[in-house]
């Protein structure tokens, strides 16, 4: 039912668990944990054929069928024993699907992870939630966009939860002379990976040079008991760097070790907790970043008369022109048509189906290493991120041009 995370393999336990197991075997700093193998999920859904059910009746029917099955006999007892080895504190329960974190598609943010889980009964329910998330609407749409329509399986990682002081994402370089890209903010990692905060951006050159762009970090996410609580960042800390140059270099060095252990450039989620830097996840980089990931210091050309030019972080290369569609929540999804430019405060995994339709993306908040930016790059959709007040300055249904390579958005608003 359960294997130590250090013994996990991709074949038996899914991609996320397999990568973390390889990193533990390479003596890299990964939080202690265990994995629920893929075949436990397979046993739980035997006879259901959830993929067929999803195709015939929709993903919701597949989810309901999975959640309607009791947990396999012995799972609760196995998890109780596993939790006893982790000190009795809160744990993170993370998806480890057979089709995520792959070289041809990350499935970034498509499956469920639950942080700050207390007690064996809640852990069992979190494991079942991970299983059911195989057929979340967004996950089904993502697989459909990649042309994958099989029967994936779900492993699950159960790890010691870290109350991070600082966390973020790092892309290791694709070539020896290339730079490491790091985004970081205060508190727990979902703020950065889900794009709900403007993170600091660090570019660490091969020779150790560090270029920093400090963001206005207004919110953070922290654990309070068994809940994750967003709260405001104190004004003195909003524009204070999260990492100094030495921190950034140490992270880049850790990233090189991760890439060496896993055999290629990696998208690494990391956290600083208990005075130590930890690796929470590593997966292959699936699509190259734009050459720059911060706004250009060179002033943009003067706009044509009556046009407005906005700048942000270049998130996904390319150029697209379409009608701006201002979307503030799911109620607005139906207004986005093929080729429209999605303009929103930020995007979360629930918005992934829009990226199959939209011609480009503009967000007010979020970094270029966030889940939404990763999916945009995989789709080949131009994206400009962190454009202040974009939903107010870009009028709905007005023609907009998005240059995701330069980080420039132009609209003909008078």
| Residue 56: Cβ within 10 Å count | 10
Euclidean distance between CA atoms 402 and 381, whole angstroms: 10
Euclidean distance between CA atoms 191 and 335, whole angstroms: 27
Euclidean distance between CA atoms 226 and 171, whole angstroms: 30
The DSSP result for 343-359, as a single string, is: EES---GGGGGGGGT-S
| Residue 238: Cβ within 10 Å count | 16
Euclidean distance between CA atoms 200 and 295, whole angstroms: 13
Query: 148: exposed, middle or buried (C-beta count within 10 Å: 0-12, 13-18, 19+)?
Result: middle
CA atoms within 13 A on the CB side of 317: 6
Residues 6+ apart with CB under 8 A from 286: 102, 103, 104, 105, 106, 267, 374, 377, 378
217 vs 195, 199, 211, 339, CA distance in Å?
A: 12, 6, 18, 32
Annotated catalytic sites, by residue?
Answer: 371
Residue 395, beta-bridge partner list: none
Q: Are 150 and 174 in contact (CB under 8 A)?
A: no
Taking alpha carbons only, the member of 200, 171, 202 closest to residue 186 is 200
Euclidean distance between CA atoms 184 and 242, whole angstroms: 7
Residues 6+ apart with CB under 8 A from 405: 290, 291, 314, 317, 318, 319, 382
| Residue 87: Cβ within 10 Å count | 10
Three-state secondary-structure class, residue 289: coil
Euclidean distance between CA atoms 183 and 200, whole angstroms: 6
CA atoms within 13 A on the CB side of 268: 33
């Amino acid at each position: 039912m359960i294997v130590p995370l250090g013994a996990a393999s991709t074949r038996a336990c899914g991609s996320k668990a397999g990568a973390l197991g390889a990193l533990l075997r390479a003596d890299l700093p990964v939080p202690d944990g265990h994995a629920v193998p893929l075949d436990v999920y397979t046993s739980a859904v035997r006879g259901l054929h959830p993929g067929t059910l999803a195709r015939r009746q929709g993903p919701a029917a597949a989810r309901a069928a999975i959640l309607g099955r009791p947990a396999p006999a012995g799972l609760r007892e196995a998890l109780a024993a596993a939790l006893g080895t982790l000190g009795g504190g809160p744990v993170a329960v993370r998806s480890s699907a057979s089709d995520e974190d792959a070289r041809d598609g990350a499935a970034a943010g498509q499956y469920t992870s639950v942080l700050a889980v207390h007690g064996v009964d809640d852990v069992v329910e979190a494991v079942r939630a991970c299983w059911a998330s195989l057929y979340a609407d967004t996950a089904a749409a993502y697989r459909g966009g990649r042309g994958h329509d099989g029967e994936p399986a779900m492993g699950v990682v159960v790890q010691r939860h870290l109350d991070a002081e600082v966390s973020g994402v790092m892309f290791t370089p694709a070539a020896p002379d290339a730079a490491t890209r790091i985004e970081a903010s205060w508190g727990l990692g979902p703020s950065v990976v889900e794009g709900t905060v403007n993170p600091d951006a660090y570019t660490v050159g091969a020779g150790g040079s560090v270029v920093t762009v400090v963001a206005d970090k207004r919110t953070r996410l922290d654990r309070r008991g068994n809940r994750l609580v967003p709260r405001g960042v104190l004004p003195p800390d909003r524009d204070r760097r999260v990492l100094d140059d030495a921190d950034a270099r140490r992270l880049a060095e850790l990233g090189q070790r991760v890439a060496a252990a896993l055999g290629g450039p990696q998208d690494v989620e990391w956290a600083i907790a208990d005075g130590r830097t930890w690796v929470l996840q590593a997966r292959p980089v699936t699509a190259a970043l734009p050459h720059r990931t911060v706004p250009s210091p060179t002033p943009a050309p003067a706009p044509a008369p009556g046009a407005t030019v906005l700048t942000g972080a270049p998130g996904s290369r390319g150029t697209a022109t379409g009608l701006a569609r201002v979307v503030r929540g799911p109620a607005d999804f139906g207004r986005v048509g093929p080729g429209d430019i999605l303009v929103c405060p930020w995007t979360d995994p629930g918005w992934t189906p829009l990226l199959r339709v939209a011609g480009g993306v503009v967000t007010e908040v979020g970094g270029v290493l966030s889940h939404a930016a990763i999916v945009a790059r995989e789709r080949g959709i131009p994206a400009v991120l962190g454009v202040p007040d974009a939903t107010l300055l870009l009028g709905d249904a007005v023609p907009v041009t998005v240059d995701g390579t330069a980080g420039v958005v132009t609209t003909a608003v008078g």
